[in-house]
Amino acid sequence: NAGVTQTPKFQVLKTGQSMTLQCAQDMNHNSMYWYRQDPGMGLRLIYYSASEGTTDKGEVPNGYNVSRLNKREFSLRLESAAPSQTSVYFCASSPQGVGSGNTIYFGEGSWLTVV
Amino acid sequence: EDQVTQSPEALRLQEGESSSLNCSYTVSGLRGLFWYRQDPGKGPEFLFTLYSAGEEKEKERLKATLTKKESFLHITAPKPEDSATYLCAVQALGGYSSASKIIFGSGTRLSIRP
């Protein structure tokens, strides 16, 4: 059981380049999330999708776009990368939108460096 | 403003030396408090969910407790393999979607020396 799978694991981008982080879950979860993790900042929500066909902004959405391709897949796109987007990105999923009894499960992370 | 603070930032213990990690929170209303373990280079791994003051949950050498203002993660007789960063997250009431109201602390780095 793979759980939440992210690709790529590592990526180096030049300022201004674009790229897409891919995420897929095989747990039949309805909700999916993208977080970034920076030293001393904790995990911060970028975008989320409460269910297939819907997406909403989180705490730090600027510079990012997302696509909920189907129930399994949720991608994160950086249209014009900036050094401030150097971070570790985590995709996650939960059975419903997080509420009583629902827990968020995380992928292994994608390390992105923008030079 | 909703806030989650974990202390200490780092903790070094000798194998077998029990201790506690703290997660204090100020939120508009608590829907749930989560504990995760994160190993270097990995994603957070779910440990516990607590919903109401007085609740306790245990898993091997770990026990999580919850009061109205804070949660503790107690580690009894830790082993080197318990070394990791432990994250606390709080789901608050309010907002137009519950998914947007989860706030993570910055974690406690726990190191257990053999």
Q: Can you tell me the distance from the alpha carbon of B27 to that of B102, in angstroms, rounded to the nearest whole number? A: 10
Test A106 with B45 for CB contact under 8 angstroms: yes
Q: Can you tell me the distance from the alpha carbon of A63 to that of B93, in angstroms, rounded to the nearest whole number? A: 28
Chain centroid offset of residue A18 CA: 15
What's the N-to-C CA distance of chain A in angstroms? Answer: 36
Low-confidence winner among A40-44, A103-107, B75-79 (lowest mean pLDDT)? A40-44
Mean pLDDT of B71-83: 97
Query: Chain A within 8 Å of B39 (Cβ-Cβ)?
Result: no
The number of C-alpha atoms within 13 Å of A69 and in the hemisphere containing its C-beta is 12
B70-75 vs B84-92, strand pairing mode: unpaired
Q: What is the pLDDT of residue B27?
A: 85
Q: Mind listing the pLDDT tens digit for each residue in A30-83? A: 999 999 999 878 899 999 998 888 999 998 999 999 999 999 999 999 999 999
**Residue B96 banded pLDDT, cuts 50, 70, 90:** very low
Q: What is the pLDDT of residue B31?
A: 83
Q: What is residue A73's DSSP assignment?
A: B
Identify whether the C-beta of residue A104 lies closer than 8 Å to the C-beta of residue A98: yes
Test B42 with A90 for CB contact under 8 angstroms: no
Q: Can you tell me the distance from the alpha carbon of A30 to that of B42, in angstroms, rounded to the nearest whole number? A: 23
Q: Which two tokens stand for residue B104?
A: 């993570």
Backbone angles phi, psi at A67, to 5 degrees: -140, 125
Q: Which residues of A touch B42 (CB under 8 A)?
A: 108-109
What are the residues whose beta carbons fall under 8 Å from the beta carbon of B77, sequence distance 6 or more? B16, B18, B61
Chains A, B: CB contacts within 8 A come to 67
Q: What is the pLDDT of residue B30?
A: 85
**Residue A102 banded pLDDT, cuts 50, 70, 90:** confident
Low-confidence winner among A49-58, A91-100, B8-17, B92-101 (lowest mean pLDDT)? B92-101
The letter for the amino acid at B97 is S
Q: What is the pLDDT of residue A16?
A: 97
B80: left (phi over 0), alpha (psi -120 to 50) or beta: alpha
Q: Can you tell me the distance from the alpha carbon of B28 to that of B23, in angstroms, rounded to the nearest whole number? A: 16
Test B87 with A43 for CB contact under 8 angstroms: yes
Test B99 with A31 for CB contact under 8 angstroms: yes
Mean pLDDT of B71-89: 97
Peptide bond into B8 cis (omega under 30): yes
Q: Mind listing the pLDDT tens digit for each residue in B13-59? A: 999 999 999 999 998 888 889 999 999 999 999 999 998 999 999 99
Residue B62 has pLDDT above 70, yes or no: yes
